A and B are shown apart, each in its own frame.
Chain A
Amino acid sequence: MGLLEAILISVIAASTPLLLAAAGELVVERSGVLNLGVEGMMIMGAACGFAGCWLTGSTFLGALCGIAAGAALSLVFAMLTLGLAVNQVAAGLALTILGTGLSGLIGAGFVGQRIVPAPHLDIPFITTLPVVGKLFFGQDGFVYFSILLVIAIWWFLYRTRAGLILRATGDNHTSAHALGYPVLKIRLLAVLFGGGCAGLAGAYLPLAYTPFFIPGMTAGRGWIALALVVFSSWRPGRLVGGAYLFGAVTILQLHAQALGLGIPSQLMTSLPYLATVVVLVLISRSRGIAGSAAPASLGMVFVPDR
């Protein structure tokens, strides 16, 4: 296996959690809700996903536990922001603080334990093809699922009536309400979906990326996923490119550190975060000319009149 191939494979592994979490958040934001608690839901997904896998010995059941944990946490967020019309930014921050604490509590007993990492696809003859074999046919299930998920989201948003209604809700909740669409119910479902995706993204880390759990192992990936949604201009297609770009930055800094170029490791580690700031600035700047691509009702409180 050549170095380039190894790098590409690790880029995909590093990108997958970003893609999963950002894909879920994209649907949430398209419905008009800004859930800043992605980081909290991810780390809960990581803790519960690991716990589930360790207890059952099954990656699949572990992933389900992660999804359930993320969705459960997002339900709390939905109850506050949709049910009680609480400020979404503040509630999202609360969710991250709560998720960090709860995951530490749940994961404490599992630190230092190991599990069998998620199996990789292995098709006789095809997976062993040079260069492309392992890259396209030798990944774990999460990777393929994340791609399918983005395609499904694209199809849902742009090719189904329900997707059109969801986008309408995000662009103008007053009109959507006047047309008779249950704005809060639509948003509840979107938030739960986003929570499940964030939970799965978190679960990917201990189940496939590293076969153990460390408190705080999401290391800001939830926040980077939020930035990716802005980067993608709320379009699923661009999300894939963005996620792989960020995955590449993460991996390249690791390889650069390994080469020992005399650059302080802290500078290299800070690259994904700095890249996020730079990308946000560049995207927002070009957007300033073309007009904002954000859903028009994003982050606004909606209380239906009677």
Chain B
Amino acid sequence: MQLVLEKRAERSTLIAVASPLIAIVLTLVTMSILFAILGKNPIAALNVYFVEPLTDTYTLGEIIVKATPLVMIGIGLSLCYLANVWNIGAEGQFLIGAVCGSWLAVVTNGTGAGYWVLPAMLVLGAAGGALYALIPALCKVRFGANEILTSLMLVYVAELILDYLVRGPWRDPKGMNFPTTAAFDPVATVPTLFDGSRVHAGSIIALLVVIAATVMLGRTIKGFEIRVVGAAPRAARFAGFSADRLVLFTFAVSGALAGLAGIIEVAGPVGVLQPGISPGYGFTAIIVAFLGRLNPIGILIAGLFLALTFIGGEGAQISMKIPLDLTKVFQGILLFYVLACDSMILYRIRLIATPKKSAPASVQGNVHGTA
């Protein structure tokens, strides 16, 4: 007996809807086993991870704060992945967006500049992220260089640029030698929405991005183009869609969104430019994009869910001494299960009888897949 993969006659709509939920359940089961191995009570740990953050208004707000960059970056990445373009350097674009926007905050610091500063910072952040993303896109279109590797390499470079600026030219002279800029002026800060919570106006921008992406993908030619180029490149060529221009477009948009998320993060919850402004948002957003099935509404939900794991992970570290790295393990396992469950939309697993060993040479071609 043997397990083989078999293509379904048509996509399974049932599994398409259920797959993220099945993936989450499987992840929770795996996590329970991991908790048990670490010598923690699985029920208590899952409670700290996934339930407790939802019972308190402050942590609920923190989930929204963490979800804001994840959703914005995830939306941009989903456009790339729909078009079969692989931008995995969103972390770097996030940092460069933060750097470019912060430049204005640093030069206007203490000059009493007006309320134009913050909008200009957001524009600079988005532009910086987009330009940084265009480097791998241009390398791909112009020279055929693999965008996965170049976009990833530029993450390391972005980290070093940020590090250089806050240790060198932009360091706060009154900052006791800490690698950080001076605290941003109020006109350079994203306003919070409620008292007693860090939820800020950036979350509204994230929601607008979700709406804009929904409209673009569902109602415009550009959205159609993205999906056609990704799903059927040959048909797209006949339709006159340029794959190269789409590489530039999707990279620029995803870079702009990552950059915008970056400057919102420093001008909002963080308030200064410093190393370590991102706990890996750019990479987690890849999981968000896939868990959300590359659909804007799905990404909104997935972003909130993964934000919950960040907050829950911090809670679990404090109250149960569970290492923070477990959150990453959790995220990796989740992505695996999501991908595996998604595969079941197109395929089914069948149990078949193993072919006889003594089969003649002519039928040995019927080799079955082994997993």
Q: Which residues of A contact B (CB under 8 A)?
A: 36, 40, 76, 78-80, 82-87, 89-91, 93-95, 97-102, 104-105, 108, 177-185, 188, 215, 219-220, 223-224, 226-227, 230, 264, 266-267, 269-270, 273-274, 276-277, 280-285, 287-288, 303-304, 306
Q: Which residues of B contact A (CB under 8 A)?
A: 3-7, 86, 88, 135-136, 139, 143-146, 148-150, 152-154, 156-157, 160-161, 163-164, 167-168, 283, 286-287, 290, 323-333, 335-336, 339-340, 342-344, 346-347, 352, 361, 364-371
Q: Does B370 contact A188, Cβ atoms closer than 8 Å?
A: yes
With A184-B370, A284-B143: A80-B336 Cβ-Cβ less than 8 Å: yes
With A86-B339, A97-B283, A270-B160: A105-B367 Cβ-Cβ less than 8 Å: no
Provide the bound-state CA to CA distance between A102 and B34, in Å: 11
Residue of B nearest to A176 (CB): B367
A106 to chain B, nearest CB (A): 9
List of B residues within 8 angstroms of A283 by Cβ:
145
List of B residues within 8 angstroms of A230 by Cβ:
146, 149
Interface of B, helix, strand, loop or mixed by DSSP: helix
The 8 closest A-B CB pairs, nearest first, are A83-B371, A98-B332, A101-B328, A104-B325, A101-B329, A94-B335, A266-B164, A97-B332
Residue of A nearest to B38 (CB): A105
Q: Does B336 contact A280, Cβ atoms closer than 8 Å?
A: no
List of B residues within 8 angstroms of A266 by Cβ:
160-161, 163-164, 167
Residue of B nearest to A108 (CB): B323
List of A residues within 8 angstroms of B88 by Cβ:
93
Provide the bound-state CA to CA distance between A96 and B328, in Å: 10
List of B residues within 8 angstroms of A269 by Cβ:
160
Pick from A79, A95, A108: contact of B371, CB under 8 Å: A79
List of B residues within 8 angstroms of A277 by Cβ:
135-136, 139, 145, 150, 153-154
Q: Does B164 contact A227, Cβ atoms closer than 8 Å?
A: no
List of A residues within 8 angstroms of B283 by Cβ:
93, 97
Q: Does A84 contact B367, Cβ atoms closer than 8 Å?
A: no
Provide the bound-state CA to CA distance between A215 and B290, in Å: 27
List of A residues within 8 angstroms of B333 by Cβ:
98
With A90-B335, A184-B370, A281-B145: A273-B153 Cβ-Cβ less than 8 Å: yes
Provide the bound-state CA to CA distance between A100 and B344, in Å: 27
Pick from A98, A219, A226: contact of B336, CB under 8 Å: A98
Provide the bound-state CA to CA distance between A143 and B330, in Å: 36
Provide the bound-state CA to CA distance between A238 and B101, in Å: 43
List of B residues within 8 angstroms of A285 by Cβ:
143-145
Q: Does A223 contact B149, Cβ atoms closer than 8 Å?
A: yes
Pick from A101, A179, A274, A281: contact of B332, CB under 8 Å: A101
Q: Does B157 contact A270, Cβ atoms closer than 8 Å?
A: yes
Pick from B167, B324, B340: contact of A80, CB under 8 Å: B340
List of B residues within 8 angstroms of A90 by Cβ:
286, 290, 335, 339
A198 to chain B, nearest CB (A): 16
